Amino acid sequence: MSTHIEAKKGEIADKILLPGDPLRAKFIAENYLEDAKLFNNVRGMLGYTGTYKGHRVSVMGTGMGIPSISIYAHELITEYDVKKLIRVGTAGALAKDVHVREMVLAQAAATMSSFVRNDWPEYDFPQIADFDLLDKAYHIANDLDITTHVGSVLSTDIFYSDFYEKNVKLGTMGVKAVEMEAAALYYLGAKFGVQTLGIMTISDSLVNDEPDTTAEERQTTFTNMMTVGLETLIAE
């Protein structure tokens, strides 16, 4: 057991999908994994281990925001020896060429968070994805004919932000979308020498007049990123 995860050693696979919503973790376990077993229910943050195409894989919710994902990812890496961590979540489009329900692979993550600066106050440490996972995910998405964008994202601490104009300006500089977790996951990957990647489905747009998706849709219908995430985890 760790501070926030009740699993015993060996109950979590070395490859894991990390949706923010624990109910999305439950959906993935029930619809994609065989022989899925619940390993965590502390604070309702559901986690399961099963098999996907014969490979042992886990899935666990992380909650919303950098502080929450950093707690779970840190414990998964340091207490349970997880080596591949892929976030699958939602994001809001910042670039006009990115549309609702399309997928974004986060090559890098800009952030206004002080999370990294707590360790490195003198530097602007780059938060970047593991290239091997990124490359595999890109080719898997292409093979599945899924509309996919590769570029930077903004990991913000503020959901209801007063920085709308500044955030939208980032969309003109190659930042594809805004979300709340990737920067922390990428930093922990670098810190502990493990592989990390963020795969996001666009749930709404800050720059295009497109209808938002519902909470239920975000929980159960964004299946492309789930498939790409799982296929990437098991790719040789």
Please indicate if the annotation marks 101 as binding a ligand: no
**What gap in Å lies between CA 83 and CA 86, rounded to an integer?**
10
Catalytic residue among 21, 204, 209, 212: 204
| Residue 127: strand, helix, or coil | coil
DSSP, res 128: B
Task: Determine if residue 218 is labeled as part of a ligand binding site.
Answer: no
Q: Is there a binding annotation on residue 30?
A: no
Going by the DSSP 8-state scheme, the letter that residue 146 receives in this structure is -
Neighbours of 42 (CB within 10 A): 14
- Residue 68 assigned to a binding site: no
179 appears as a binding residue in the annotation: yes
Q: Is 198 annotated as a binding residue?
A: no
Cβ-proximal residues to 123 (8 Å cutoff; 6+ apart), any chain: none
20 annotated as ligand-binding: yes
Specify the pairing of strand 175-179 against strand 103-111.
unpaired
Cα–Cα dist 204/33, whole Å: 28
24 assigned to a ligand binding site: yes
43 labeled part of a ligand binding site: yes
Q: Is 198 in a helix, a strand, or coil?
A: strand
180 is in an annotated binding site: yes
- Of 160, 161, 201, 197, nearest to 177 (Cα)? 201
Judge whether 70 is annotated as a binding position: no
Tokens of 214: 């519902």
CA distance 220 to 107: 25
Q: What are phi and psi of 47, to 5 degrees?
A: -140, 140
204 catalytic per annotation: yes
Q: How far apart are CA 230 and CA 236, in angstroms?
A: 12
58 is in an annotated binding site: no
Per the annotation, does 193 bind a ligand? no
User: Annotated binding site for phosphate, which residues?
Assistant: 20, 24, 43, 87-90
Binding residues for a purine D-ribonucleoside, as ranges, are: 4, 179-181, 203-204
Catalytically annotated residues: 204
